[in-house]
Chain A
Amino acid sequence: MKIAVCSKGIELTSLCDERFGRCETFVIFDTKTKECFAVDNEAKNEGAGAGGKAVKILSDNKVDIIIAPELGPKANNAIKAFEIEAYRALGNITVEEQIKNFQEGKLEKFENSSVEEHSGLRRV
């Protein structure tokens, strides 16, 4: 399966970003081939609707699981419509540590959005 993690950089060793819709980039890890690649988050500069667009970008990349620190209402609606599962990232750790935590069953699944819309806009 393909796991996408919101990231500040393009490596597995990059730190996980603090937001989903407007994160810098997505690092996508394929658990079968053990390969990983980064996808620039084109949604980050959108005026509005970043959450929805970010999910679409990941769906186009055939992602099955998203690991994100928070999910706004549009992102939450989008993951349900695209049938992708999302799990809550833990603390200030790297992408590969997030994936490891997920595989060990330590991450909580998002049932609903956890923040209000545009929360990611206020962070520089």
Chain B
Amino acid sequence: MKIAVLSGKGGTGKTTVSTNLSAINKNIVLIDADVEEPNASIFLKPVITKEEKIYVEYPVIDSEKCTLCGRCGDFCKFNAIIPAKNTVLVFKESCHFCGGCEIVCPTEALKYEKREIGKIIKGTTLLKNYMEYGLLNVGELSGVKIIKALKENIKDRELVIIDSPPGTSCTTVAAVEDTDFAIIVTEPTPFGVSDMKMVVEMLRDMKIPFGVFVNKAGLGDMEVYEYCEAEKIEILGEVPFDKNISSYYAKGELFTQYMPQYKEIFENLFEEIVGGKNEN
């Protein structure tokens, strides 16, 4: 079973939930798909066993064959390739490697070369779980390729938690697509709720069953509960706002290892998802 953990608003507790959930069973594999700023490894402290470089392609023009007809430039949605007066401008970082420019070129003047955009780091956590995390190079526009590679790497594993990026844009979609269940981690504040609504819409569109987990419960107001009741969304559990939890977080520690009274919340969360049926 592949379980995505996402949130909408950043800072609600995706990584807190993902990492503490993975801690209940060493057979759970965790992947950190927030490739722009992966932080699960801070808490899981993996011993690194392997690194995998990730590449994307970009067009290179054979100036002998190019007739500057302009078709590649007209096709490109990202302004990554622009035929100019005597040369063709290529903005490598803008290229989304759709392959379209090669297809429309009438003289076969285009081919692709590859460049590195980041890597995947693989290892074993302090609690003996297998984990992988993606790391996008600073300055790169899109981490989607790395996220897809992470998903491919663990596709045959039985139990996987995917710590996803914040928001609802293409990196989150790439992390969440084709998963069996999604946990929406939210906090009971107006910002938490409003961003959560976008995530609910996205997941319904993608037809992925989901439930809500409330982190920092008691911190704000009741709107999240009212919303979930009105929308018939199951609340899978909650963690109360507790300064001690923040304290362990700030030290880079898994709080359930130090506050075992909270372990049960994650065990129950796991049971709810893997044991029962949750359709939304």
- Given the known inter-chain contacts A49-B94, A59-B84, please indicate yes or no for A81 contacting B78, CB distance below 8 A: no
Is chain A's interface secondary structure helix, strand, loop, or mixed overall?
helix
Partner of A78, one of B80, B84, B86, B141: B84
Partner of B82, one of A47, A48, A56, A83: A56
A59–B68 Cα distance when bound, in Å, is 14
A80–B98 Cα distance when bound, in Å, is 27
List chain B residues, Cβ under 8 A from A82: 84-85
A44–B51 Cα distance when bound, in Å, is 40
- Given the known inter-chain contacts A56-B73, A77-B89, A78-B89, please indicate yes or no for A48 contacting B78, CB distance below 8 A: yes
- Given the known inter-chain contacts A78-B89, A81-B89, please indicate yes or no for A48 contacting B84, CB distance below 8 A: no
Q: Establish whether residues A52 and B89, one from each chain, have CB atoms under 8 Å apart when the complex forms.
A: yes
- Please tell me if A22 contacts chain B, counting CB pairs below 8 Å: no
List chain A residues, Cβ under 8 A from B85: 59, 81-83
Partner of B78, one of A47, A56, A59: A47
The number of inter-chain residue pairs (CB within 8 angstroms) is 42
List chain A residues, Cβ under 8 A from B258: none
List chain A residues, Cβ under 8 A from B78: 47-49
- Please tell me if B257 contacts chain A, counting CB pairs below 8 Å: no
- Please tell me if B97 contacts chain A, counting CB pairs below 8 Å: no
List chain B residues, Cβ under 8 A from A55: 82
Partner of B79, one of A46, A81, A83: A46
- Please tell me if A8 contacts chain B, counting CB pairs below 8 Å: no
Is chain B's interface secondary structure helix, strand, loop, or mixed overall?
loop
A83–B87 Cα distance when bound, in Å, is 10
Interface range on chain A (Cβ under 8 Å from partner): 10 to 19
- Given the known inter-chain contacts A46-B79, A47-B78, A78-B82, please indicate yes or no for A52 contacting B87, CB distance below 8 A: no
A48–B80 Cα distance when bound, in Å, is 9
**Binary contact track A68-90/B, C-beta < 8 Å → 1, others 0:** 00000010011001110000000
List chain A residues, Cβ under 8 A from B79: 43, 46, 48-50, 52-53
A55–B141 Cα distance when bound, in Å, is 22
Q: Establish whether residues B91 and A81, one from each chain, have CB atoms under 8 Å apart when the complex forms.
A: no
Which A residues, 20 to 73, have Cβ-Cβ distances below 8 Å to chain B?
A: 43, 46-50, 52-53, 55-56, 59
* Residue on A nearest B141 in the bound complex, by CB: A48
Q: Establish whether residues B87 and A48, one from each chain, have CB atoms under 8 Å apart when the complex forms.
A: no
* Residue on A nearest B89 in the bound complex, by CB: A81
* Residue on B nearest A79 in the bound complex, by CB: B84
A83–B80 Cα distance when bound, in Å, is 19
A78–B89 Cα distance when bound, in Å, is 7
* Residue on A nearest B80 in the bound complex, by CB: A49
A-B contact pairs, 5 of them (CB 8 A): A49-B78, A50-B79, A52-B82, A52-B91, A83-B85
The 4 A-B pairs of least Cβ separation, nearest first, read A49-B79, A81-B84, A53-B79, A82-B84
4 additional A-B residue pairs with CB within 8 Å, beyond A48-B141, A77-B91: A49-B80, A55-B82, A59-B84, A83-B86
